[in-house]
């Protein structure tokens, strides 16, 4: 293929592409022209800035300001944007219908169509230009109406649906909503009612807090329901416009319930006042928006919703978190206290008043008492000469989402099933139940590990077992690791020490009647490789008939009890031969 032929083909392809593009654009232009020709009125609804409607009974003007529609005439008020958009959209979508040209030389060319003195006049202001629409009488069959645009000579016969689009009163164009905005955008709420002044605000994390009359946590469900009810409120009736004296409606400062909403959006600050019930309609109350010189009637339920006490909005939950999230906690009553921390394996360790492994199950049971507590009310008014809050609880979390929790607690002077508490971030006293955290004894022996001895059998070098009338001694041969003398029951006995678990542990006390002077069994265990290091276990009398026995480790500051089956495993069998 030579160069000349290639150039010719390329030129032809270019011309074909341009032709296709031109024809496509021409189709778009034809479609747009057809659409414009089909419509009765030529305007762009979203760009309309003013709307005027005049009839024998109505003279109405609306104006768009910063994307908000306002009524200008006959009253200065908020306009119903939905109603206006529906009207403009309906007018824009009306089909043209038949076109009539009035006689040129007639002295009254528009009289037969009712357009010499139109029954309705519309004016749409768009970008400085005004589109005047005149509406005359109905067609003879009643299914149409004669319409003329003032700048044009021709008359259009449109369907009578046009009349249904137009308002018959100013009320139809007024906004019936009370408060505007999105609940998520509201960041402050003030309420003044017969119960006092309540001020609430949302922090950067979206959590609501109360700042007046006290600083306190807020029930997120309650505040969400309150805001939802406020935003759902609507005007039932327009009572009076241009009101200056608010006292007859109970809307003065002495009688009204007022609420102020502040929004981070363009809605800004809005203030609503709710007054007295309507004389002939007690289910309605008078209402007024600060920005409007009008009085409305709204549902009395809205006033009831706002006539609340601060306690109705307070969070009655204790700070919630997973108990597994607690890393470190301290509970104290005066000078007596316990302190625990969780190790890397998730096991609890007591660090005060002594450092020792803790019984994790017992510690978790103590913490569960916190999870079971529920606030039932708040102390109002404060008690006269209340008992002191002597017990404190402090918890630190390993989960960074949760801050430390600090609480003071004390007994309730009149109800043993409740107790009084104050959270660190809440100055008011709460009444809570059940009172487990108040009743729990702070005895460290209740929470220390039940493992009183933990010796691996392979670490035992020698063992001596004494009963009231027998004595046995065994040593492990270093060459073979076997016991001498050979006794099959020695190895199972050693297994009881890995670990030896007590049923209960107690502070050492008078042991005179516990049978340690003539023990049921005494074990002395010497460990391999650690000369002179040994442990002696004494098992004494029964705590109850056929029940656990008292036991102690020589040199330790506590005593404990061992289950009957454990004691039996530590004793030589009846057929054993003494040394």
Q: Is the pLDDT assigned to residue 34 strictly greater than 80?
A: no
Confidence band of 400 (pLDDT split at 50, 70, 90): confident
Q: Is the pLDDT assigned to residue 527 strictly greater than 50?
A: yes
Q: How many helices (H) and strands (E) does the chain have?
A: 9, 37
Q: Is the pLDDT assigned to residue 378 strictly greater than 50?
A: yes
More confident residue, 18 or 234: 234
Q: Yes or no: say if 562 and 549 are a contact pair by the CB < 8 Å rule.
A: yes
pLDDT (tens digit per residue) in 557-578: 889 999 999 999 999 888 666 6
Alpha-carbon distance of 373 to 152, in angstroms, equals 80
Q: Yes or no: say if 115 and 204 are a contact pair by the CB < 8 Å rule.
A: no
User: Residue 573 CA to chain centroid, in angstroms?
Assistant: 65
Alpha-carbon distance of 538 to 360, in angstroms, equals 26
Q: Is the pLDDT assigned to residue 480 strictly greater than 70?
A: yes
pLDDT (tens digit per residue) in 270-295: 899 999 999 999 999 999 998 788 99
Alpha-carbon distance of 218 to 200, in angstroms, equals 8
Q: Is the pLDDT assigned to residue 77 strictly greater than 80?
A: yes
Q: Yes or no: say if 460 and 528 are a contact pair by the CB < 8 Å rule.
A: yes
Which residues have C-beta within 8 Å of that of residue 70, sequence separation ≥ 6?
62, 63, 64, 76, 77, 78, 79
The encoded tokens of residue 217 equal 């946590």
Predicted confidence at residue 540, as pLDDT, reads 93
Q: Domain 451-570 falls in which CATH fold?
A: Immunoglobulin-like (2.60.40)
DSSP one-letter code for 318: P
- To which H or E segment does residue 383 belong? none
**Which is it for the CA torsion 460, 465, 471, 472, positive or negative?**
negative
Mean pLDDT within 458-470: 89
Q: Is the pLDDT assigned to residue 327 strictly greater than 80?
A: yes
Q: In 94-242, which residue ranges form alpha helices assigned H by DSSP?
A: 161-165, 220-232
Q: In 94-232, which residue ranges form alpha helices assigned H by DSSP?
A: 161-165, 220-232
The percent of the chain in helix, strand and coil, each rounded to the nearest 5, is 25, 40, 40
Predicted confidence at residue 463, as pLDDT, reads 92
Predicted confidence at residue 478, as pLDDT, reads 81
SS3 466: strand
Confidence band of 332 (pLDDT split at 50, 70, 90): very high
Of the candidates 86, 73, 77, 102, the one whose C-alpha atom is nearest the C-alpha of residue 45 is 86
Q: Is the pLDDT assigned to residue 27 strictly greater than 50?
A: no
Lowest-pLDDT range of 100-109, 397-406, 437-446, 560-569: 100-109
pLDDT (tens digit per residue) in 183-234: 888 999 999 988 889 999 998 888 899 999 888 888 888 999 999 999 999 9
Alpha-carbon distance of 466 to 458, in angstroms, equals 21
More confident residue, 528 or 275: 275
Predicted confidence at residue 320, as pLDDT, reads 74
The full set of domain ranges for the chain reads 45-173, 183-313, 323-444, 451-570
Q: Yes or no: say if 199 and 124 are a contact pair by the CB < 8 Å rule.
A: no
Mean pLDDT within 497-523: 89
For the chain, the straight-line distance linking the first and the last C-alpha, in angstroms and rounded, comes to 120
> CA angle, 54 as apex, 49 and 56 as ends, to 5°?
170
- At 465, give phi and psi (nearest 5°): -120, 120
Q: Is the pLDDT assigned to residue 32 strictly greater than 80?
A: no
């Amino acid at each position: 293929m030579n160069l000349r032929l290639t150039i010719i083909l390329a030129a032809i392809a270019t011309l074909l592409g341009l032709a296709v593009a031109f024809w496509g654009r021409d189709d778009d232009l034809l479609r747009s022209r057809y659409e414009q020709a089909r419509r009765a009125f030529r305007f762009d609804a979203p760009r309309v800035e003013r709307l005027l409607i005049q009839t024998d009974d109505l003279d109405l003007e609306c104006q768009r300001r910063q994307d908000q529609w306002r009524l200008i005439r006959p009253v200065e008020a908020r306009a119903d944007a939905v109603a206006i958009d529906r009207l403009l959209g309906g007018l824009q979508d009306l089909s043209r219908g038949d076109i009539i040209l009035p006689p040129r030389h007639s002295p009254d060319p528009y009289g037969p169509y009712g357009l010499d003195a139109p029954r309705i006049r519309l004016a749409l202001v768009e970008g400085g230009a005004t589109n005047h629409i005149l509406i005359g009488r109905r067609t003879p069959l009643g299914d149409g109406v004669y319409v003329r645009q003032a700048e044009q000579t021709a008359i259009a016969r449109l369907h009578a649906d046009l009349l249904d689009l137009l308002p018959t009163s100013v009320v139809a164009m007024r906004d019936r909503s009370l408060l505007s905005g999105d609940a998520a955008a509201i960041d402050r709420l003030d309420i003044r009612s017969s119960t006092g002044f309540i001020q609430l605000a949302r922090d950067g994390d979206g959590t609501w807090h109360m700042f007046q009359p006290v600083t306190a946590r807020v029930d997120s469900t309650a505040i969400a329901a309150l805001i939802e009810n406020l935003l759902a409120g609507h005007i039932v009736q327009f009572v009076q416009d241009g009101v200056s004296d608010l006292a007859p409606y109970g809307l003065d400062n002495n009688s009204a319930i007022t609420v102020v909403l502040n929004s981070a959006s363009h809605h800004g600050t809005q203030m609503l006042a709710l007054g007295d019930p309507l004389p002939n309609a007690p289910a309605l109350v008078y209402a007024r928006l600060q920005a409007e010189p009008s009085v409305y009637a709204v549902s009395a339920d809205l006033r009831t919703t706002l006539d609340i006490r601060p306690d109705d909005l307070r969070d009655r939950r204790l700070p919630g978190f997973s108990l597994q999230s607690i890393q470190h906690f301290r509970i104290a009553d005066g000078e007596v206290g316990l302190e625990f921390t969780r190790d890397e394996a998730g096991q609890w360790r007591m660090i005060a008043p002594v450092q020792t492994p803790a019984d994790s199950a017992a510690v978790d049971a103590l913490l569960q008492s916190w999870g079971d507590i529920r606030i039932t009310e708040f102390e109002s008014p404060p008690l006269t000469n209340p008992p002191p809050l002597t017990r404190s609880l402090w918890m630190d979390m390993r989960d960074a989402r949760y801050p430390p929790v600090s609480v003071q607690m004390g007994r309730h002077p009149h109800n043993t099933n409740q107790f009084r508490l104050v959270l660190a971030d809440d100055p008011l006293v709460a009444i809570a139940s059940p009172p487990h955290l108040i009743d729990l004894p702070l005895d460290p022996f209740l929470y220390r590990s039940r493992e009183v001895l933990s010796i691996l059998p392979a670490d035992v070098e020698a063992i001596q077992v004494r009963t009231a009338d027998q004595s046995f001694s065994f040593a492990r041969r270093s060459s073979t690791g076997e016991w001498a003398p050979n006794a099959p029951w020695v190895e199972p006995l050693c297994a009881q020490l890995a670990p030896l678990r007590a049923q209960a542990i107690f502070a050492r006390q008078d042991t005179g009647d516990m049978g340690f002077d003539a023990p049921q069994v005494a074990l002395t265990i010497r460990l391999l490789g650690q000369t002179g290091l040994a442990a002696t276990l004494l098992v004494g009398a029964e705590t109850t008939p056929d029940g656990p026995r008292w036991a102690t480790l020589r040199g330790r500051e506590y005593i404990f009890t061992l289950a009957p089956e454990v004691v039996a495993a530590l004793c030589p069998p009846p057929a054993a031969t003494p040394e």
